[in-house]
Amino acid sequence: MNNKKNLMLMCPMLHQGGFERVCVATARLMQEYYNVYILIFTSKDMHYDVKGLNVIDIDVPARDGVIYKLLNMCKRIIRVRKAKKKLGINYTYSFGSSANMVNALSGVGDHVFTGLRGQIDLENQRQIKLFARKSHRILSCSMDIVHQLRDNFDYDRSKCIYNPVDAEAIRNKAMEQIHDFPFAGDDLKVIACMARDDYQKGVWHLVKAFYLALTKCPQARLLILGEGKWSGYTELVRKLGIKDKVAFVGAKTNPFPYVSAASIYVCPSNHEGFPNSVLEAMALKKPVISCDCRTGPREILLSEDEYNVLTLTKSGDSITEPLDGEYGILVPNMEETENFDAESISREERMLAEEMVSLLQDEKKAQNYSDKAYKRAGFFTPDKYKEKLHNIIEKL
């Protein structure tokens, strides 16, 4: 028996997703200081490698319908309380709104940490007020969330802790050989994007912008990595006449060799928390263009001074013109309602197209952002994340 305290990390499931990835990474990093347990609501479609980790599956998967959701909530709370008591949990840190709710309502004397991962989490004011009452700390993955909690909810006990990025591990994984890359040709310039088929990811904007960019850069190709049916998109690329130049290759256990083979990376999201995929692409020296969606991209692609100036002038509003930041390019945020009309092209999509063309054609500019991206990714190290989280926990 060791003298370490017991830390539980709570996550609905370990399917593909940003906060799921952070949860698993946190478990491995914090084993140095704590006996770590990952509690999940279901092991269905588990994607991440949990070898060597203590995983507890309470087996209460999501169900449709209001009554079933309420029953699920009660079951989860009861089973989580039982697990916390049995294991003698000292600290519980939850990832995702459903896990946050269960964590906040299942306290057994443990210190409760709820994690807010993006702007959508802040839209449910009742939940935020509950988390503020029941949490010893709300951990936020961006400074913008910390500011919103302070200004809109009068909550000043939130701490910002940026997601960790193991740049060396990513580069090593990127060296794996792949045999199903969808494009061939030494002169091609591939634009990569990692995203699931979800309106929050705004991929239809990228497809339309790519269509425009092709007129000036015919050697461009578009590669989308991520799960989904993509049915609306396949019809869109057909109508635009670019079916042979766009590839939806699905989710990959190791997406990094595909991103490594690209020339630039684009994040067209209208909602993010702290976009891991952007930093992962930067670790692979990819110049990045991202929409200025609230929380995340600004804090990655801008210098501290640039971020502070922009926050003072446009704290909650997107920029209206493209901005060349210190570490990458921001473009205005775009409409979040899906629009697969091939004839409907917005001003913002045109601006995104122009920025893609500028990176694909201006080698000096692309090289500068490649170097800066690599440097920036090195700021978000796992060791820095580990020490900060440990300090936050211990200062209670």
Taking only the tens of pLDDT, the chain with its 396 residues reads 589 999 999 999 998 777 898 999 999 999 999 999 999 999 988 878 899 999 999 999 999 999 999 999 999 999 999 999 999 999 999 999 999 999 999 999 999 999 998 888 888 899 999 999 999 999 999 999 999 999 999 999 999 999 999 999 999 999 999 999 999 998 999 999 999 999 999 999 999 999 999 999 999 999 999 999 999 999 999 999 999 999 999 999 899 999 999 999 999 999 888 899 999 999 999 999 999 998 899 999 999 999 999 988 877 789 999 999 999 999 999 999 999 999 999 999 999 999 999 999 999 999 999 999 999 999 999 999 999 999 999 987
Residue 130 near residue 101 (C-beta atoms within 8 A): yes
* Token digits of residue 259: 């991103």
Domain 5-164+381-394 and domain 167-377 have a common topology? yes
Report domain extents, the chain.
5-164+381-394, 167-377
Pairing assessment for the beta strands 288-291 and 220-225 based on DSSP bridges: unpaired
Query: What local confidence, expressed as pLDDT, does residue 306 receive?
Result: 95
Burial code (b: 16+ CB inside 10 Å, e: under 16) for 94-111 equals bbbbbbbbbbbbbbeebb
Q: Output the pLDDT for position 85.
A: 98
As a whole number of angstroms, the distance between CA 97 and CA 307 comes to 27
End-to-end CA distance of the chain: 24
The label of the residue with tokens 């501290």 reads: 304
Residue 5 burial class via C-beta count within 10 angstroms: exposed 0-12, middle 13-18, buried 19 and up: middle
User: 300 is written with which tokens?
Assistant: 């990655």
> What pLDDT score does 1 carry?
56
Instruction: Give the SS3 label for residue 280.
Output: helix
CA distance linking residue 233 with residue 173, whole number of Å: 29
Mind giving me the DSSP string for 208-261? HHHHHHTTT-TTEEEEEES-S--HHHHHHHHHHT-GGGEEEEE--SS-HHHHHT
Q: Regarding the domain with residue range 167-377, which homologous superfamily does it belong to in the CATH classification?
A: Glycogen Phosphorylase B; (3.40.50.2000)
Fold of 5-164+381-394: Rossmann fold (3.40.50)
Q: Report CA-CA distances (Å) from 273 to 92, 124, 141, 276, 320.
A: 21, 15, 7, 9, 21
Give the Cα separation of 177 and 183 in Å (integer).
Answer: 15
Task: Give the DSSP letter of residue 163.
Answer: P
Position 354 scores a pLDDT of 98
Residue 63: CB atoms within 10 A of its CB come to: 10
Q: 175 exposed, middle or buried (CB, 10 Å; 0-12, 13-18, 19+)?
A: exposed
Nearest CA to 148 among 268, 323, 273, 305?
273
